[in-house]
Structure 1
């Protein structure tokens, strides 16, 4: 009997196992897996049902490996390939894996919840040893069977939902709380928070840290200066323009991620001299333009996740580990501007 939270390692189903369950020959299973159109529909369905029940996956990456063997590869499923954050995290993953003679396969969900399971399944077909994933779907319970088969599963940046898995995230609440306290210290009271999409774990945590710090300072209702929208709502640029058109606009703005920062800075333009600004996530040229940010080491996030996966492969038992990568406010000028008037 295994304790709750412990992983168990079962034998992977082979082509012969599928053949026995379906009541057909191994050659027939091979033809179905290979996409042979000449197999009778009823036989094809019987084979596919047997494969689903046994969680059998053909090794499309290395067919020369026999009996459900695995490659020396780790899959990393990220959100958006165009976001520099993910590229830096992937660099950390790759460097850590290289020290153990392992390689990384990279795929993206484009931060679309409906794409997650499909992209993950494609990666798992490569017979990877471990799966690193930045979850976007509301439920990762579909990975429990794979975890029990011995695949190490580690979540990066956001924890899993309905799945006991190791995770590495940022100290999101701490970061925004520190930013708010710094703004309060130079006299700001009307402090705005802008992000999109609002329901993302990281953004919700950063918003929570913002509110907690304001509440500790006696500011109980910052809602007039909050702009939290979903992907179909106003852009961060539109949100900041709206804020600055208020009768009592904010004297300081905090953004929830690097893309919100870009939009906010476009909206502010020369008015940046009038408003204190701190963005969550460092970005290119932020130092050159004196932009204060909440920063962290994205490559360390990737390295720690890769180490967790390797440790889990070495010892698949035990409760999941949760690691927080520290954040810090880098003061470059915009976050230290006192309120005017």
Structure 2
């Protein structure tokens, strides 16, 4: 800044006023200062400015499972847009469903003095966030709840969505309905599997254990699960998939088989409407989820002290064909 002042022939205070957009500088002088700034490549030091003004960093952190996953990329984009509307910068990272990596990312963001943190939890204990909350960092959980601390939470109605899928199959005449989902140590996977079992029980239908498969949606595991479900004298006639990655893996496997059950996937995904039999899905709204989580976060950052909220957003059954195949 001293170099800018010397080259423009003005005082430091004048340069400061021009840089910060403050009044009290003649336009001719301001233009001269801006020209020198461009010539010298001067950039304002926001960290020092915020420190002097005793303000926060105007940044927030986002920890998701996987930024490349279509669901989380939409959620992250919505968070980014809300942050931008508040003049804040978004820092984001992927936990890869690893609790240690989640903790490291969250604490690294906090070490960089983010004003707030949005977390898609991977671990089972989030008491490590208690000191950050006590220090004034706002925290919101999204897609899954955290444990060990009391924070605002935005979720989808996972059980309700699966119940809608089972009910739709029942209306098509199906009674032997299978379920393929993710590991049950993941909150959303456990909720969806529980929703499936409860919906079947409410309909007075028993669930054979060979109809249920939970675990990482790898090709081999899905292939073995479908072997169990689609073989024997009474194979399943309909199949629920617990998330978009599982649905895609199942579709690839079914493409090589003659016996293809009716299919409903949880989560929409790109080109779901373009396959040979368009895929009926239970759609969440990741954009609304991200937007709502971010707005809750900025309210806390502004000092709101209301009781914490747990919001469950409804899902939507989108009929495309694969779920309307009758027995």
Please report the TM-score for the alignment, with normalisation by the length of structure 2.
0.80
Residue of 167, 183, 194 corresponding to 2:169: 183
| Mapped pair 1:320 → 2:305 | no
Task: Give the count of matched residue pairs.
Answer: 279
Summarize deviations over 1:15-69 as a string: whole Å, max 9, x none. Answer: xxxxxxxxxxxxxxxxxxxxxxxxxxxxxxxxxxxxxxxxxxxxxx936643775
Distance 1:225 1:326 in 2: 27
SS of aligned partner of 2:264: strand
| Distance change >3 Å, CA 273–CA 99, structure 1 → 2 | farther
| 8 Å Cα contact 1:195-1:236 kept in structure 2 | no
| Distance change >3 Å, CA 256–CA 232, structure 1 → 2 | closer
| Distance change >3 Å, CA 338–CA 273, structure 1 → 2 | farther
Match of 1:255 in 2: 241
Unaligned stretches of 5+ in structure 2? Answer: 1-45
**What is the CA RMSD across the aligned residues, in angstroms?**
2.1
| 8 Å Cα contact 2:74-2:287 kept in structure 1 | yes
Match of 2:34 in 1: none
Summarize deviations over 1:247-282 as a string: whole Å, max 9, x none. Answer: 422100000001100111111116477410000010
Distance 1:220 1:245 in 2: 18
Residue of 78, 84, 89 corresponding to 1:98: 84
Residue of 251, 262, 270 corresponding to 1:284: 270
Unaligned stretches of 5+ in structure 1? Answer: 1-60
Distance 1:329 1:119 in 2: 35
Q: By how many angstroms is 1:316 displaced? A: 4.1
Residue of 52, 71, 75 corresponding to 1:85: 71
SS of aligned partner of 1:121: helix
| 8 Å Cα contact 2:217-2:245 kept in structure 1 | no
Match of 1:298 in 2: 286
Q: By how many angstroms is 1:87 displaced? A: 0.5
| 8 Å Cα contact 2:57-2:115 kept in structure 1 | yes
Match of 2:196 in 1: 210
Mean CA deviation greater in 265-274 or 310-319: 265-274
Please report the TM-score for the alignment, with normalisation by the length of structure 1.
0.77
SS of aligned partner of 2:323: helix
Match of 2:211 in 1: 225
| 8 Å Cα contact 1:132-1:153 kept in structure 2 | yes
